[in-house]
Amino acid sequence: MTTEIETRERLAPGPASSSVLWEYAPSLESTDHVKIASRYNLFIGGKFVEPHSKKWFPTLNPATEEHLSEIAEADAEDVDRAVKEARRAYDKVWRKISASERAKYIFRIARLIQEKSRALAVAETMNGGKPIKESRDVDIPLAAAHFFYYAGWADKLEYAFPNRNVAPVGVAGQIIPWNFPLLMAAWKIAPALAAGNTVVLKPAETTSITALMLADILQEADLPPGVVNILTGAGATGAALVSHDGVDKIAFTGSTDVGKRIQRALAGTEKKLTLELGGKAPNIVFEDAPIDQAVEGIINGIYFNQGHVCCAGSRLFVQESVAEPVIRKLRDRIGTLRVGNPLDKNTDVGAINSRAQLEKIQELVASGVEEGAEMFQSSCSLPARGYWFAPTFFTGVSQSSRISQEEIFGPVLSVLTFRTPEEALEKANNTPYGLSAGIWTEKGSRILKMASKLRAGVIWANTYNKFDPTSPFGGYKESGFGREGGRHGLGPYVVLS
Ligand code: NAP
Ligand code: MG
């Protein structure tokens, strides 16, 4: 940690030494039943194959820095092999079988995810650092729910797009980030398969394990070889997939920087593109909001999943008349968040996903201190090994500061105030992003008015970070374009005539 961070104001002591909070006995999720292989190969044409490069890179547990496994690094030759397999499967099998047959496979994948949910949740937590209660209650059930939901659409496409002829796009290249590894894979694969496409998926470098466990599930579901191929590797693997001529569509979720690079690479080509990029969501609390409920929503909005959430409510706008109690309650509440072993069922905030991400958070937080904002940080004790960052918020933040403009992607909240709804709107819309927003007020009319003027793809009212496969998700402005989830999520995977 930087010296600036060490000058932080100390809060009431956190769980370890607090007198107001009970000491919970550890309740560790067992890892015995989870088989993580010592090495994973690429999943191409329904089989696990060695990478052409003969290179494997280590993957670790960010909470302990322990080595977990070795992951194959796919190069351009492997991308070519996988795309050709996906094309073959598309031409010879997937576009020929009936839609209700496709639905059966997708349904089977959903069932198998449910059956193996415990092992998937533990692996997700071990490789990604998120608390087990999140991977167990959010990530894995939602991944299964996405497959169930899109299994239902496969033979009903004519109802999704009435009076149109619906055809698949072809081979979809899909690139996903590390914050919701299996869930992002489900968001991408399920609608693509339902609409009749085949897939080459590139998981994030630091969190490949559950995608490879999904490859096992695809085999077990007897999915025809080549319908889904999974290529692990780093950014170069993703770039090779983007530029491969045999890919008809790219679906990307990740940072705005890489999204822009992909858009440039595809300019002038026939390939379809959807981008789900970064965010800097406003969470707006009006004076008539139920304050305790709002504080819980703010906490969930930013500290959930260590703030590794593109739609995290990372900017809090609170009406001046209630700023004092909201900030006081926020201070008290972050002091009670349990930070630590992600495998402990009591843990609220787990490990930061990687050293690189931790350094990025530290750098941005130091800039906030330097720019004169006042920092409050939980005084919870952090484990000695692994990547950790204590829940933090800033007050006295100016709108132009880096911490109110740039995505931190960590458990760090910037608090700003407003007097009128118009001022809240103007400030909330004042970022290059537009992914999501939250509104807290008792007045339904105010919710509707604010929602219609907020430039954000997803807006929650009196709640935050709620997801459902039936509901479309996506951004405005530099948060990208295209929608995932719901009937809208089929759109990018079909050609209509
Ligand atoms: P990232 O660095 O952009 O990486 C995303 C994916 O792209 C990873 O698989 C990455 O591989 C790959 N990649 C890197 N360089 C590439 C290139 N030149 N061409 C093609 N692929 C490339 O983002 P991240 O750090 O993993 O994820 C965090 C970001 O994702 C945040 O900005 C967050 O807001 C955004 N996100 C958005 C949504 C949404 O729905 N809008 C959802 C989740 C996350 P490596 O892992 O090997 O680098
Ligand atoms: Mg990266």
pLDDT tens digit sequence for 345-404: 999 999 999 999 999 999 999 999 999 999 999 999 999 999 999 999 999 999 999 999
Distances (CA, A) of 298 to 292, 332, 404: 10, 13, 16
Sign of CA dihedral 438, 443, 448, 452: negative
**Residue bearing the CA closest to ligand 1, atom 12:** 235
Reading the block at residue 266, the tokens are 């595809």
Task: Please tell me the distance between residue 231's alpha carbon and the centre of ligand 1 in angstroms.
Answer: 15
Is the shortest distance between the CB of 412 and ligand 1 below 6 Å? no
Task: Please tell me the distance between residue 360's alpha carbon and the centre of ligand 2 in angstroms.
Answer: 12
| Cβ(433)–Cβ(475) below 8 Å | yes
Q: Give CA–CA dist 195/153, Å, rounded.
A: 8
- Ligand 1 atom with least separation from CA of 276: 41
- pLDDT tens digits, one per residue of 479-494: 999 999 999 999 999 9
- The pLDDT, as a whole number, for residue 3 is 31
HSE at residue 35, side-chain half, CA atoms within 13 A, is 5
Give the chain's mean pLDDT: 95
Write down the pTM of the prediction: 0.95
Report whether pLDDT(1) > 90: no
**Phi, psi at residue 495, to the nearest 5°?**
-110, 125
- The pLDDT, as a whole number, for residue 19 is 43
Contacts of 448-454 with CB under 8 Å at 24 or more apart are 449/421, 450/284, 450/421, 450/424, 450/425, 453/425, 453/429, 454/282, 454/425, 454/428, 454/429
Q: Give CA–CA dist 207/266, Å, rounded.
A: 26
Task: Please tell me the distance between residue 145's alpha carbon and the centre of ligand 1 in angstroms.
Answer: 23
Confidence of residue 12 (pLDDT cuts 50, 70, 90): very low
Confidence of residue 23 (pLDDT cuts 50, 70, 90): confident
Q: Give CA–CA dist 221/200, Å, rounded.
A: 18
Name the residue of 253, 274, 359 to mutate for ligand 1: max ligand atoms within 8 A of Cβ: 253
Confidence of residue 4 (pLDDT cuts 50, 70, 90): very low
Confidence of residue 21 (pLDDT cuts 50, 70, 90): low
452 by Cβ neighbours in 10 Å (0-12 / 13-18 / 19+) ranks as exposed
Is the shortest distance between the CB of 278 and ligand 1 below 6 Å? yes
Task: Please tell me the distance between residue 356's alpha carbon and the centre of ligand 2 in angstroms.
Answer: 9
Name the residue of 258, 280, 435, 484 to mutate for ligand 1: max ligand atoms within 8 A of Cβ: 258
Report whether pLDDT(41) > 90: yes
* Mean predicted confidence (pLDDT) in 4-23: 43
- pLDDT tens digits, one per residue of 66-123: 999 999 999 999 999 999 999 999 999 999 999 999 999 999 999 999 999 999 999 9
- The pLDDT, as a whole number, for residue 278 is 96
| Ligand minimally distant from the alpha carbon of residue 234 | 1
Q: Give CA–CA dist 247/483, Å, rounded.
A: 20
Report whether pLDDT(263) > 60: yes
Task: Please tell me the distance between residue 357's alpha carbon and the centre of ligand 2 in angstroms.
Answer: 9
- The pLDDT, as a whole number, for residue 497 is 97
* Mean predicted confidence (pLDDT) in 425-438: 97
| Ligand minimally distant from the alpha carbon of residue 264 | 1
Residue percentage of the chain with pLDDT more than 70: 96
Least confident of 15-19, 67-71, 407-411: 15-19
Is the shortest distance between the CB of 254 and ligand 1 below 6 Å? yes
Active site residues: 276, 310
